[in-house]
Amino acid sequence: MATNGNGDISQDSVEEKPKSRKPKDTKFKQQKLPAWQPILTANTVLPALFAIGIAFIPLGVALLVTSNNIKELVYDYTHCNSSTTSGTCAEFFQNTSQTGETCTCVVTLTLDEDFTGSVYMYYGLTNFYQNHRRYVRSRDDNQLHGDVISYSDLNDDCDPYKTVSDNGTTMGIAPCGAIANSLFNDTFALVYQGSPNEAVGLLNTGIAWVSDKNVKFGNPSDWQKSTYTKPPNWKIPVWNLSLTEESNNGYKNEDLIVWMRTSALPTFRKLYRRINHNGTTFSNGLPKGDYQVTISYHYPVTAFEGTKSIILTTTSWLGGKNPFLGIAYLVVGSLCIVLGVVFLVIHLKWGKRHQETELELFKAPQYEVDPLVQVVTLHDRAM
């Protein structure tokens, strides 16, 4: 037979490997893994849309209410009148020769209602780009962690606040970098104008992230005071930040730690103090009335058209006052409801027609009958 000659080769090639090349019949290999195949049509998603809408709207309302219950007082003191010099403190600092000196403002804040619960005191800055790339990088985390390093090993990003040269001697800056150098240094004292006047206790601890205070920031075993100096804008070196409280001194100073967490936006607020609710007058928060704030005004902001404010606020479980989330929930929830209604209307109005076509589809031979049969029938018709 002419066509019967390949017996030899197949033997040849098979002799050494009797293993069959037949693929395994597993669901995975044959791509037949069982699968969930959700089909999204108006009918199936209608309940889901309504459910989401019905869940989101009350949630939104609740969030909005929560946010609205938060008491907040914001006082912009950028242009406060100086109590020590004439004019405003802002004007005082426009004279750059006076940078570093103190200007004091005394302002009165009026709480229209009681601030019940824990009250927090913030300072807020605007148009301050703490999120600028160079600014964000301008720090040395190892230094802040308390590692003993020589100033030449400081992070280069700290430049130009890495080292200072004074009369030929170079000294490292502790802490180095622009962030630390621009530490917010206004201070506030708060006195309740009641009968009698009572100073509000302000707690300067517990205002930073616990992890920062415990893990990220630490004091070195040796301050290397001979080779390190304070940042140019500072008045005192870092190891003297809090002489009274060793746990709040140096890099572990919470004001520093708070400042070192650079904000996301050019308008931001940072926690300044917690109100001390021990004692009788302020145990339930701040009662309504006038409060006198004595501001040690050091920090120039008008140069960059910024403002600074003092903020007193209570918090909720959501944090500060912010209606956005509540509104967003309401909007998304409503959208779901609207979409649901639209789909429902379309479904009721036009759904029937579609069902009909679907029924036809079931009858269509294309999906029911082997195509070969179909061809025969086509031929029949052609005849």
- Tokens for 376, please give them: 């025969």
User: What is the H or E stretch that residue 75 is in?
Assistant: strand 72-76
Contact call for residue 236 and another protein (CB under 8 A): no
Q: Are strands 187-192 and 198-199 parallel, antiparallel or unpaired?
A: antiparallel
Q: Which of 157, 174, 187, 242 binds another protein (CB under 8 A)?
A: 157
Query: How far from 371 is each of 357, 365, 366, 375, CA to CA, in Å?
Result: 21, 8, 7, 6
23 binds another protein (CB under 8 A): yes
Dihedral (CA of 312, 313, 319, 321) sign: negative
Select 288 or 354, whichever has its Cβ closest to another protein: 354
Query: Taking CB under 8 A as the rule, does residue 348 contact another protein?
Result: no
Q: How far apart are CA 225 and CA 237, in angstroms?
A: 9
Q: Which is nearer to another protein, 35 or 236 (CB)?
A: 35
Spell out, one character per residue from 60 to 79, where the chain touches another protein: x when CB under 8 A holds, - when not.
---x----------------
List 20, 244, 278, 280, residue binding another protein (CB under 8 A) = 20
* Strand arrangement, sheet containing 169-173: 163-166, 169-173, 228-229
Of 77-85, 102-110, 124-132, 166-174, the segment contacting another protein by CB under 8 A is 124-132
Site for another protein in 200-219 (CB under 8 A): 206-212, 215-216
Enumerate residues 260-299 that contact another protein by CB under 8 A: 261-271, 274
CB 347 within 8 A of CB 43: yes
**Which residue of 75, 77, 120, 188 would you call a contact of another protein, by CB under 8 A?**
120
> How big is the CA angle at 335 (ends 330 and 339), to the nearest 5 degrees?
155
Binding flag, residue 168, another protein (CB under 8 A): no
Q: Which is nearer to another protein, 108 or 118 (CB)?
A: 118
Residues 296-325 touching another protein, rule: CB under 8 A, are: 300, 303-305, 313, 315-322, 324-325
With CB under 8 A as the contact rule, the residue among 107, 164, 332, 341 that binds another protein is 332
Task: State the minimum distance, in angstroms, from the CB of residue 252 to another protein.
Answer: 14
Q: Burial, 156: exposed, middle or buried (Cβ in 10 Å; 0-12, 13-18, 19+)?
A: exposed
Stretch that binds another protein, among 56-64, 78-86, 164-172, 187-195 (CB under 8 A): 56-64
* Binding of residue 41 to another protein (CB under 8 A): yes
By CB under 8 A, tell whether 51 contacts another protein.
no
Which of 108, 225, 235, 217 is closest to 181 using CA atoms? 235
Which of 72/81 has CB closer to another protein? 72
Query: Which one of 346, 348, 355, 365 is in contact with another protein (CB under 8 A)?
Result: 346
CA–CA separation, 221 and 212 (whole Å): 18
- How many CA atoms, within 13 angstroms, populate the side-chain half-sphere of residue 350? 5
